[in-house]
Amino acid sequence: MLELGWPWLFALLPLPLIAARVLPRARGLISTALHLPHLGVALPQQADVSAVPWLRRAFALLAWLLLVFAAARPQWLGAPEDVPRSGRDLLLAVDTSGSMSIEDMQLGGQPAPRFAAIQAIATDFIHRREGDRVGLILFGTRAYLLVPLTFDLKTVGKQLTDSTIGLAGRETAIGDAVGLAVKRLRDRPENQRVMVLLTDGVNTSGELDPNKAIDLAAANKVRIYTIGIGADAMRVSSMFGSRVVNPSADLDEKMLSTMADKTGGRYFRARNSEELADIYRSIDKLEPAADTKQSLRPVDELYWLPLAGALAAGALAFLLPALRLRASRRVLPI
């Protein structure tokens, strides 16, 4: 549908007529013919400048009309499209340390590394957050913002899927990951700052102590949902036979629980892939994604079309006298 952004500018249409009536007219100047020594040869007389040819006047008026039309901002409004409202700003912080390669998870009935289970289940969680801005932090020896907060959930999911163990180092910098998340979230609205942190160990690296990071997150009202991942028992083979070990012996559950409690979040324990999937569903309920939509109509600006027409009509009005003079000089009377 065609609409005008500034239709009131059409009030300028009578301006040339008003100017013609108010401003004094130019005096007509007719020069006498210049007679040359040769018999019967004379230059044509100068035309009356006040007598504007009707065609030139028509082109000038057309140029003015199109110029005013372009200034009124013609727009083409497309059909209404539903877009999700802005929900929460959610940063997903994923541990990529060396211990994430331990195969104590199950995917499709087959043993799988912890990181592979996170990739499969967290990617689905990301895609369900329509209406939220989601970002991705990977932390190991250092913490890195892999994807800043964005509505492009497909890109966030792909970046997580393409990530590898050890990409951020082999150790675990939990404090740095929280500090980086707080830095990215503190300028957002208070009720929208959410972080989900997944780890299988204890803080062994980084510059920011986890306890100070907890205080920093609480002061900036960043809710943190912590997930401790890893089985409680796992059978391993050795030269003396098989034995059962606890692959999650290094998991600092006390620190993760304190982090969640002090920031208004919750601590979850994922011992297998099914529990991890249930945890994400629980977070979906605790922090529901935006489910209301608003309609927007795409707008295409069309001012350039009448503007181009105005320039063309103005050029023709300007060139007409020169074209007529050139035509009159082709043949001189002898």
Tens of pLDDT, residue by residue over 21-31, are 887 765 544 44
Q: At residue 20, does pLDDT exceed 90? A: no
pLDDT above 90 covers a percentage of the chain that reads 45
**More confidently predicted of 1 and 103:** 103
Q: At residue 144, does pLDDT exceed 90? A: yes
Instruction: Report pLDDT for 327.
Output: 61
Which of 272, 273, 174 has the alpha carbon at shortest distance from 232?
272
| pTM of the predicted model as reported, rounded to 2 decimal places | 0.63
Q: At residue 50, does pLDDT exceed 70? A: no
Query: Going from the N-terminus, what domains does the chain have, and what CATH number goes with each?
Result: 2-79+298-328 (no CATH), 84-294 (3.40.50.410)
The Cβ-side half-sphere exposure at 51, using a 13 Å CA radius, reads 6
Q: At residue 91, does pLDDT exceed 80? A: yes
The Cβ-side half-sphere exposure at 217, using a 13 Å CA radius, reads 34
Backbone angles phi, psi at 155, to 5 degrees: -65, -40
**pLDDT, tens only, 300-316:** 888 888 889 888 888 88
Can you give the C-alpha Rg of the chain in angstroms? Answer: 38
304: its two tokens = 């350039």
Position 142 confidence tier, pLDDT thresholds 50, 70, 90: very high
Backbone angles phi, psi at 331, to 5 degrees: -130, 120
Instruction: Report pLDDT for 26.
Output: 58
Mean pLDDT across the chain, nearest whole number?
84
- The span from the CA of 25 to the CA of 78, in Å, is 48
- The span from the CA of 79 to the CA of 219, in Å, is 45
Which of 229, 151, 145 has the alpha carbon at shortest distance from 181?
145
Position 146 confidence tier, pLDDT thresholds 50, 70, 90: very high
**pLDDT, tens only, 232-289:** 887 777 666 677 888 888 899 999 999 999 999 999 999 999 999 999 999 988 888 6
Contacts of 222 (CB under 8 A, 6+ apart): 181, 182, 185, 186, 193, 194, 195, 263
Which of 251, 250, 100, 92 has the alpha carbon at shortest distance from 164?
100
